[in-house]
Amino acid sequence: MKDFRQFLRISYSLSKTRAIKKNPMMNNPQLLIISRKGSRAFTNVNEIAGMATKLGYYVKVVEPDDNTMSESAEMMNSCDVVVGVHGAGLTNMVFLPDNAVVVQVIPLALDWSAKIYYEEPTKEMNLRYLQYKIKKEESSLIGRYSPDHVVFTTPWSFKWDEFRSIYMQNQNVTVDLRRFRPTLVKALELLHD
């Protein structure tokens, strides 16, 4: 995987090979928030960006569909930390510099795919990984189903088409800033290591 990432850096003329080390004499680390439209979107992206700025990040918010592959590669390569909801363009983490931090926000019922598709590959890519698992109160599903509904208690009981419709196509995330803050602080600490 490391050779493949090096191949991509050369192919896309990406210059940044290593994430910034947190140092008071250097620029603020760059944090990219991937803000997708439709499903599995952040509903409070501006608040997340504001909190990250207060923590000392230089924040960029992008929608993955608005860029060409070259633009996405360059943007991702310029960052030290990337934050996205599961499936929101996080595959572009292949363009991140070494030791960058991937923060995956995991919606309800998507733990397995989050681990397989994003957490596991970071180990082979010399990236740091953090996850933030939402609670049902942070899911838009709470507005459609009662807290004790099977959607929250046994999500694996649905057939694939129903599961995909509920959890992947019709779920958005309102991050609890108080709960999420320590994750962004930890990302800063990882950059310092």
pLDDT of residue 55: 96
**Where are any strands of DSSP class E within the chain?**
30-34, 58-62, 81-85, 101-106, 128-133
Angle at 41 between CA 114 and CA 121, to 5 degrees: 25
Q: What is the pTM of this model?
A: 0.93
The answer on pLDDT for 137 being more than 60 is yes
Q: Indicate the SS3 state at residue 69.
A: helix
The answer on pLDDT for 94 being more than 90 is yes
Hey, what are 148's tokens?
A: 């004790």
What whole-number distance in Å separates Cα of residue 136 and Cα of residue 25? 41
**pLDDT per position as a tens digit, 160-181:** 999 999 999 999 999 999 999 9
In angstroms, the Cα distances linking 126 to 5, 98, 118 are 10, 5, 13
Domain locations in the chain?
Answer: 2-135+177-192
Which fold does the domain 2-135+177-192 belong to in CATH? Rossmann fold (3.40.50)
